[in-house]
Structure 1
Amino acid sequence: MARTTSSAYAPKRIILCFDGTWQTAVSGQQNSPSNITRLCRAIKPVARIGDQDWQQVVWYDSGVGTTSLAVSKMLEGAVGDGLDGNIVEAYNFVSMNWNRGDKILCFGFSRGAYTARAVAGLIADAGICEPHKLHRFPDLWKQYKNLKRKGAFYNSDDYFQFVDGKVSEHHRKHPGTATGLAWEMHANPGWAQTDSREVEVVAVYDTVQALGIPEVAGVQLPANLMWWKDPPGWHNVTLSRQIKHAFQALALDEYRKAFYPEVWCLPSGYPNAALPEVRAQLEEEVKSKREVLNKAGARQRQLIKEAEEHGRLHPTDYETLDRLANGINKASKKVGEARRDYMVSHDNLHLGTPQLTQVWFPGYHINVGGGSSDTLNNYGDMEEMSNIVFAWMLDQIAPFVGIRETTIKDHYKDRQATIATLNAALEKQKEMAKTESWGEYLGRGARWLGSAVMHPLTPAPCTETRHYTWGLGDMPDSFSTMYIANGQKPRAPSSNSYIDDKKEKGIRGATCAYIHPVVNYRVQHKEGYLPMGLTEKQYSRQLVGKEFFYTLKEETLPEWNLGGKGSYELLALEQDEAAIEYMAQQHHAEAEKLLSEVQAKRQARANGA
């Protein structure tokens, strides 16, 4: 029977989404969707991006702390246990679905953001293997998790040992091998598929470290007491040059130490290959270093061939085999050094600097990532701030992901309907209160008192008519009794990331961070609000030239320029007339147009009345 030919390959965007701590969209229970869940549900199965149609394949992973058992749920949520499995599952999914030319995009919230960055780091470090090689992944994972290594796995001795293998220098322990040569670790040449180390987008909400050692009463527990998991620090969540675009939304007001953010900074110190003279120099370096690598590789292969022949002819000559193995391992080390030099020059020639944007918003951790359980009970801001953040994120990723715009607009309609329903219920309750008996009044008061006793930190349901505002809703403090032992650590927005080591001090790199204009709108229109618990002397916003800059304590950051015509940010702004007027006063061109439209409609209504 003749083999049928396959149809032309359709390129894919493989979209990996990792939800926040204790959050899941697949429990079958009623929940308030996080911004990750909302994104997953708004992605088109097929989208035209640029001049090409792309399939969009979505992988959704529930957050840590979403197991069924209460104790396991609490443990996972508190210390991030379970993350390794999430990383391996995601890599396995990518390996079975990726083809050359496909794009990888990673999204996450909270510890799911850490997972997204760790998966992107793994792909950038090790590349994507073909599915039939996945049985060797445990060997890679073991090398990847080497806690003694400093720096990234890519281009490290561990990486080269995995690729080139290591010959045993104790053949007496391994007699009778098929090739005549015993290996401690088999070589994995060609592990990663061509061009498989590139990640198109990593976009996250408020990354928090998943494997930090928890504290009890402010005292950090020793790593050896954490018997259920590996010590922290080996995941690669930095901004690798293999990541082309990176975006992060951050919460200004969060101060739980356990939720201190992982802020990116740009990699620095690399030559600018865009300059013709630099590019010419790098091309020469790549050519010469490739020749050195080829010679070292040829020598290594020759030694392996000679050793295997000797092993087949003299399988019990252990002393000679061990000596030959020692020579092979030394040659392999030289190959690794030559490959490292070559790959550094090759990457300098072909890799640019990632696009990085990080923006700070008012509110706590959950207000940025969305999905607060308070929303189901008519508490808090009813996802008001998370909607603003979501709109910002959609604008950033719009060039890379096909989004159903109707889904977003329908969400705003649903939210307005929810608010209208709550307001109607509140009015009905007020009317009933006017006619209820004394006994009914006492019974209602007793139920409220009992709830307050059992749940002292739970805010009372909203008792006032709700209106959609641009970031003025109440946001309950996230610092509950569960986090007292871990203590507080206010956030510190900065334009630079600093090295804070006993042996080294200085600037690590630029954070490319901004303050969203909704911050100052909230300061001016929400009585008593100042970000990060600052005093009036510690907070200021000033116009310098044509840009606004914020000073928070001693750090100065620029204001984010709100999206223009057709942006999701503008759609979020449209819901609040006072906010439109505020942004128009800041000379935002599209807000000025919106204000004119609002005023015209207002005048028309007045004339009609």
Structure 2
Amino acid sequence: MKRILFCADGTWNGPTGDTDGDNLPDATNVFKLFCCLPGNDSPDSLILQNEQERVDDATKTVAKYLHGVGDSNNPLVKALGGVFGSGLITRIIRGFTFLSRNYTPGDKIILVGFSRGAYTVRALAGFIAACGLLDASEVTMSNQMEAYIAAVNAWNRYRRQAKGHGMDRIFDWFPRIFSHLIHDKTTGGGSVPIEAVGVWDTVGALGIPVYNLQRDTRYNLFEFDDCVLSSQVKHGFHAVSVDEERVDFTPTLWKDDSRITQMLFAGAHADVGGGYNTSNNESDLSNIALDWMLTQLGTCGVIFRPECRSNWCLAPANPLGPSHQPWTEGVWRTLPHAPRTLPPEHNLKIAASIKDRLNQSVTLLPSGQTVVYNPQALGDVAP
């Protein structure tokens, strides 16, 4: 029995992900979690841009980390090029083919993501629940392009069943090689269980915002039409921001279910999912949400390196760390924002770190202002 993890990264916080100006992307919780996994990175993946694979024979762990669409030289990325709206589909297909190459019955599949990556793995889980994975008797897994074509057509067939949905119309822009329908080459719905989906702050309940600055146009693509965790998924873990205010970052919550834990954490979007630098304690809050996720996935059989918590400065926890207000910066200043509304029917839990933070003086960044912490959004949630 193997543990197979697909870790999808990519945030809307900024185009570079470099908040401290050192020309290095700041690590999100997805990347930190991937680095906490045992094993060595695959030599083949070390030369790739924005993606890595890791294998550990001792713990039978296989993992892939993907930032955005991954390496720009990947055949699927090159084939689709800049096709409008193809980025999300590329991420889903790459996760689907990775799992198809590595899965054998009895393995545990764990999907992990933040922001766009959270959106990706939740959509991927629904895809797998409905279609299974690629059938090795129908597809030559070692032929990368053959696997991509079979996977894209399976996705096309799956999404076209969602009538009137933005995802099906995307294929009108796809290259001909991906647009024709071939016979189904998947193992079929219900054939592949998923051990866990662990995500930080899934946003896009109103659709993924895509901006065309030349035309001053905003599109909403891929709006979720199903927020019910599939019966094929054993566990769902969702770390949710209390303090994010950008309307485009409205959280996409799962409907309440005994298999689901949705936990509220202090801070804005990346204060929960990570991506701020470690200087001036700017990652204190996101490290709390990371530590929580490591614990949850540990109960599902995921093995992490013992030293990983100390490597990422996770101890001691600091619930009074600074939080960010990205809606006061850059282009976000001109876009709508308001305190989050958190519907009580989703049975959201409040992290202990929030309770430790309540009514205490905390710092807001980038202004440096000190305020007493008492978020309006918590008024919607039962204590």
Normalised by the length of structure 2, the TM-score is 0.71
Secondary structure at 1:524 match in 2? coil
Once residues 232 and 516 of structure 1 are traced to their aligned partners in structure 2, the CA distance between those partners, rounded to angstroms, is 30
Please give the secondary structure, in 1, of the residue aligned with 2:91. Answer: helix
2-side partners of 1:238 and 1:356: how far apart?
10
**What is the CA distance between 1:262 and its match in structure 2?**
0.8
Q: How far apart, CA to CA, are the structure 1 residues paired with 2:239 and 2:16? A: 18
Q: Does 1:525 align with 2:327?
A: no
Letter in 2 for 1:142: N
The answer on 1:212 being equivalent to 2:208 is: yes
Q: Percent of counterpart pairs with the same letter?
A: 29
Q: Which runs of 5+ in 1 are unaligned?
A: 1-10, 47-52, 69-78, 154-183, 267-352, 417-467, 497-510, 540-551, 559-609
The answer on whether the counterparts of 1:213 and 1:232 sit within 8 Å (CA) in structure 2 is no
Structure having the higher strand fraction is 2
**Counterpart for residue 5 of structure 1:** none
Which residue number corresponds to residue 285 of structure 2?
A: 385
Cα distance in 2, alignment partners of residues 204 and 23 from structure 1: 21
SS of the residue corresponding to residue 405 of structure 1 reads: coil
Give the drift of 1:473: 2.1
- Alpha carbons 2:153, 2:182 under 8 Å: kept: no
Q: How many residues align?
A: 316
Is 1:488 equivalent to 2:337 in the alignment?
A: yes
Residue 478 of structure 1 pairs with residue 326 of structure 2: yes
Partner of 1:366: 270
Structure-to-structure mapping, 1:532-571, within 5 angstroms: 532=375, 534=376, 552-553=378-379, 555-558=380-383
Deviation, 1:112, is 0.8
Deviations 1:189-217 (A, max 9, x none): x7316963311100000111295345799
> Is contact 1:206-1:249 (8 Å) kept?
yes
Structure 2 counterparts to residues 451-462 of structure 1, below 5 A: none
8 Å Cα contact 1:24-1:66 kept in structure 2: no
SS of the residue 2:222 aligns to: coil
Alignment of 1:140-539 (within 5 A): 140-146=154-160, 149=163, 187-188=183-184, 191-192=186-187, 196-209=191-204, 211-214=207-210, 221=217, 231-233=221-223, 238-266=228-256, 355-373=259-277, 375=278, 378-379=279-280, 381-400=281-300, 401-412=302-313, 470-479=318-327, 480-496=329-345, 511-526=346-361, 528-532=371-375, 534=376
Structure 2 equivalent of residue 139 of structure 1:
153
Q: Which has the larger radius of gyration?
A: 1
Call closer, same or farther: CA 1:80–1:264 in 2, change over 3 Å.
farther
What is the RMSD computed on CA atoms of the aligned residues?
3.7
Contact 2:68-2:91 within 8 A present in 1 as well: no
Q: Secondary structure at the match of 2:60?
A: strand
CA contact (8 A) 1:17 1:58 kept: yes
**Residues 215-240 of structure 1, C-alpha deviations (whole Å, 9 max, x = no match):** 799xx9575xx8xxxx4336766411
Residue 36 (structure 1) aligned with residue 30 (structure 2): yes
Contact 1:18/1:108 (8 A) holds in 2: yes
Q: Is the 8 A contact 1:205 1:249 kept in 2?
A: yes
1:540-588 C-alpha deviation (Å, 9 max, x unpaired):
xxxxxxxxxxxx33x3424xxxxxxxxxxxxxxxxxxxxxxxxxxxxxx
For the residue of structure 1 that corresponds to 2:198, the secondary structure is strand
Partner of 1:249: helix, strand, or coil? strand
Letter of the 1:40 partner, please give it: F
Provide closer, same or farther for how the CA distance between residues 109 and 127 of structure 1 changes in structure 2, counting only shifts above 3 A.
Answer: same
Q: Deviations over 1:41-74 (max 9, x none)?
A: 111249xxxxxx8511011000369979xxxxxx
SS at match of 2:262: strand
**Whose helix fraction is larger, Structure 1's or Structure 2's?**
1
Note the residue ranges of structure 2 that are not aligned, 5 or more in a row: 41-57, 74-83, 140-146, 168-179, 363-370
Give the C-alpha shift of residue 252 in structure 1: 0.7
For 1:519, the aligned partner's letter is I
Assess if the C-alpha contact under 8 Å between 2:285 and 2:319 holds in 1: yes
Taking the aligned partners of 1:109 and 1:198, their CA distance within structure 2 comes to: 22
1:522, CA displacement in angstroms? 1.5
Structure 1's 42 and 20: CA in aligned 2 closer, same or farther, altered over 3 A?
Answer: same
- Counterpart residue number, 1:60: 65
Q: Is the 8 A contact 2:97 2:134 kept in 1?
A: no
Residues 65, 80 of structure 1: 8 Å contact kept: no
The offset of 1:397, in angstroms, is 1.1
* Equivalent AA in structure 2 for residue 246 of structure 1: G
